[in-house]
């Protein structure tokens, strides 16, 4: 079993959804006369009170710029940030804090891999393998490299059901330098067998970059088990603040890579004729880092791990099964769900088409019921072309959602159908 997710362990204690909801005050706010039914966590999750409190406490007690100062306050700020780095390293099962580079989001992390590792190592004709279900953040940096460095891109396709098509995998990986692949599709919820792919990629001599934006918030991440060489994610999708992202990479890779952005904080020495970069990971962290956001991210990780990512995964799996059962039963042919029809190897993201109502119009009507779903191409236009649609409506859940939320979605869909009276 390589997928690394979604097999619920039967004896895990179920989540107490009501208690968890209480940790997220925004969920108690009224929305258009209804309660807020937040089903857009794949775009950005909500934050528990603990995260805001940690950030407030940091600003109230410990804030100064990090590094480069002798006074005690700056040391406390530096400690807060560096303990956040250790926290993130243990969260992904890394072996040392040096493997963690802080960025502003996953997009920047993936650009760092392309611009630094890619530009330094790839020559014209070298191959990067991607899948057709990648987010633009894991496509455009490679397209840019194709333009600037003549890198060849190869694409892993999908089965009709929306799983990764593994039939051409060995040909695709033959002679490749890198496989860069999502840990979970942000449109279909599909969880590709990353560990198995990584094994094959390594056998072919390629490195493996995992876009863990959608997987890290919902499941236990172990870089070694995944076989990742690089792994990227954003804080704001896992209950953390916006403005902080993570790149994990093996230390020797980071050491071999040239700096990405230049400036303060990333140097050892600067002369008029050149500079010497700092050691990793600081070499990749030019300028004042998002210190408070790193503190908030560490608090979010504490929050999630206190609950248990295995329990969170099991809870979401239960919700996915519930949605995949109840929605088609209620709406029949009016509902088309994209992606795998059963919850196996699938996370809590469901994209759908409904009753010939355009997703944009649909989400407008759902909004009047307080139901937040996202319409659009979800930054995955190549995937939209495979699906043959311009846009989908997407509902996604997290630890604070429950079956009532999915029922609320269903009721709102029924109302949209009668509003547009088709």
Partner 1 sequence: MSGLEDLYREIILDHYRSPRNRGELPVPPATRSDGFNPLCGDEIVVYLQLDDPSKGDDALIDDIRIGGQGCSISQSSASMMSAAVKGHTVAEARHLTRAFKAMMSIHEGELGGDGSESELSGDDSGDVGTIALGDLDALKGVVKFPVRIKCATLGWNTLLQGFDETAD
The residues assigned a catalytic role are: 379
13-44: burial string, b at 16+ Cβ within 10 Å, e else: eebebeebbebbeebeeebeeebbbbbbbbbe
221 is an interface residue for ligand PLP by CB under 6 A: no
Task: Output the six-digit token pair for 19.
Answer: 């208690």
* β-pair type (37-38, 207-211): unpaired
Of 135, 377, 394, 417, the residue at the interface with partner 1 (CB under 8 A) is 377
Q: Please, is 113 exposed, middle or buried when counting C-beta atoms within 10 Å of its C-beta (0-12, 13-18, 19+)? A: buried
User: CB of 137: closest distance to ligand PLP in angstroms?
Assistant: 4
Contacts 24+ apart (CB under 8 A), 115-119: 115/141, 115/145, 115/260, 116/257, 116/258, 116/259, 116/260, 116/284, 117/230, 117/253, 117/257, 118/142, 118/145, 118/149, 118/151, 118/178, 119/145, 119/148, 119/149, 119/258
Q: Which two tokens stand for residue 109?
A: 């992390």
Per-residue tokens: 371: 């139901």
Give the residue, chosen from 36, 384, 399, 409, that forms a contact with partner 1 under the rule CB under 8 A: 384
Q: Which of 204, 213, 304, 319 binds ligand PLP (CB under 6 A)?
A: 213
From the list ligand PLP, partner 1, none, which binds 360 (C-beta under 5 to 8 Å, kind-based)? partner 1
**Least distance in angstroms from the C-beta of 212 to ligand PLP:** 8
Rounded to whole angstroms, how far apart are CA atoms 26 and 312?
20
Question: Could you give the string, one character per residue 158-197, with x where binding to ligand PLP holds by CB under 6 A and - elsewhere?
Answer: ------------------------x---x-----------
Q: Is 313 helix (H, G, I), strand (E, B) or coil?
A: helix
Cβ proximity to ligand PLP: between 207 and 213 the closer is: 213
DSSP H/E element including 293: helix 291-307
Estimate the share of the chain in helix, then strand, then coil, as percent rounded to the nearest 5. Answer: 45, 20, 40
- Select 29 or 381, whichever has its Cβ closest to partner 1: 381
Q: Give min distance, CB of 382 to partner 1, in A.
A: 12
Per-residue interface string for the shown chain with partner 1, residues 332-371, x marking contact by CB under 8 A: --------------------------xxxx--xx--x---
Residues between 269 and 328 with contacts to ligand PLP, criterion CB under 6 A: none
Strand order, beta sheet including 245-249: 100-103, 245-249, 230-234, 207-211, 176-182, 127-131, 152-156
Closest separation in Å from C-beta 316 to partner 1? 27
In the chain, DSSP finds a helix count (H) and a strand count (E) of 15, 17
Cβ distance to ligand PLP smaller for residue 12 or 43: 43
Query: Among 41, 180, 214, 363, which residue interacts with ligand PLP (rule: CB under 6 A)?
Result: 214
Site for partner 1 contains 412 (CB under 8 A) = no
Cα–Cα distance between 131 and 184 in angstroms, integer?
11
Residue 346 · residue 320 · CB < 8 Å: yes
- Answer yes or no whether residue 381 interacts with partner 1 by CB under 8 A: yes
**Binding ligand PLP by CB under 6 A: which of 99, 211, 229, 293?**
211
Number of residues that bind ligand PLP (CB under 6 A): 13
Q: Residue 382 Cβ, how far from ligand PLP at the closest point, in Å? A: 13
CA 185/CA 116 separation, integer angstroms: 25
Residue 138 vs 221, nearer CB to ligand PLP: 138
Q: Are strands 176-182 and 127-131 parallel, antiparallel or unpaired?
A: parallel
Instruction: Report the C-alpha gap between 310 and 11 in whole angstroms.
Output: 11
Residue 345 near which of partner 1, ligand PLP, none (CB within 5-8 Å, type-dependent): none
Task: Specify the residue, 107 or 401, whose C-beta has the smaller distance to ligand PLP.
Answer: 107
With CB under 8 A as the rule, give the number of residues binding partner 1. Answer: 18
> Of the candidates 155, 275, 322, 419, which one interacts with partner 1 according to CB under 8 A?
419
Q: Examine residue 382 and tell whether it contacts partner 1 (CB under 8 A).
A: no
| Smallest distance from ligand PLP to CB 152, Å | 22
Which residues, numbered 19-78, are part of the site for partner 1 (CB under 8 A)?
Answer: 32-33
Residue 135 binds to ligand PLP (criterion: CB under 6 A): yes
For ligand PLP, which residue of 234, 320, 396, 401 counts as binding (CB under 6 A)? Answer: 234
The CA distance from 315 to 109, in Å, is 29
Note the residues at the interface with partner 1 (CB under 8 A). Answer: 32-33, 358-361, 364-365, 368, 375-377, 381, 384, 390-391, 419-420
Note the residues at the interface with ligand PLP (CB under 6 A). Answer: 105-107, 135, 137-138, 182, 186, 211, 213-214, 234, 379
């Amino acid at each position: 079993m390589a997928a690394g997710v979604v097999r619920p362990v039967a004896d895990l204690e179920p989540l107490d959804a009501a208690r968890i909801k209480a940790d997220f005050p925004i969920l108690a706010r009224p929305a258009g006369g209804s309660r807020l039914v937040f089903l857009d966590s794949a775009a950005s999750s909500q934050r528990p009170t603990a995260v805001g409190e940690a950030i407030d406490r940091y600003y109230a007690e410990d804030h100064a710029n990090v590094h480069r100062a002798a006074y005690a306050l700056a040391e406390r700020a530096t400690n807060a940030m560096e303990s956040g780095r250790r926290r993130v390293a243990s969260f992904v099962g890394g072996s040392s804090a040096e493997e963690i580079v802080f960025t502003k989001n996953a997009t920047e992390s993936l650009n760092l891999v392309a611009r630094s590792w890619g530009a330094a190592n790839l020559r014209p004709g070298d191959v990067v393998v991607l899948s057709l279900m990648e987010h633009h953040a894991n496509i455009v940096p490679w397209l840019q490299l194709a333009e600037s460095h003549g890198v060849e891109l190869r694409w892993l396709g999908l089965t009709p059901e929306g799983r990764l098509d593994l039939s051409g995998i060995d040909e695709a990986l033959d002679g490749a330098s890198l496989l860069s692949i999502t840990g979970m599709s942000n449109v279909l919820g599909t969880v590709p067998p990353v560990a198995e792919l990584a094994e094959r990629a390594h056998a072919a001599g390629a490195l493996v970059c995992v876009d863990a934006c959608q997987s890290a918030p919902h499941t236990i991440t172990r870089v070694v088990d995944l076989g990742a060489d690089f792994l990227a994610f954003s804080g704001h999708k896992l209950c953390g603040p916006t403005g902080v992202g993570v790149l994990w990479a093996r230390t020797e890779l980071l050491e071999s890579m040239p700096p990405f952005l230049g400036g303060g904080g990333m140097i050892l020495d600067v002369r008029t004729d050149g500079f010497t970069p700092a050691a990793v990971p600081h070499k990749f962290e030019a300028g004042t880092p998002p210190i408070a956001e790193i503190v908030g991210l560490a608090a979010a990780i504490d929050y999630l791990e206190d609950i248990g990512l295995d329990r969170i995964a099991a809870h979401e799996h239960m919700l996915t099964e519930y949605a995949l059962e109840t929605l088609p039963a209620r709406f029949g042919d009016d509902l088309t769900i994209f992606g795998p029809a059963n919850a196996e190897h699938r996370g809590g993201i469901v994209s759908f088409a409904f009753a010939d109502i355009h997703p944009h119009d649909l989400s407008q009507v759902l909004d009047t019921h307080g139901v937040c779903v996202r319409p659009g191409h979800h930054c995955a236009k190549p995937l939209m072309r495979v699906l043959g649609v311009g846009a989908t409506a997407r509902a996604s859940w997290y630890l604070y959602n429950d079956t009532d939320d999915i029922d609320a979605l269903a009721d709102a869909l029924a109302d949209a159908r009668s509003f547009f009276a088709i």
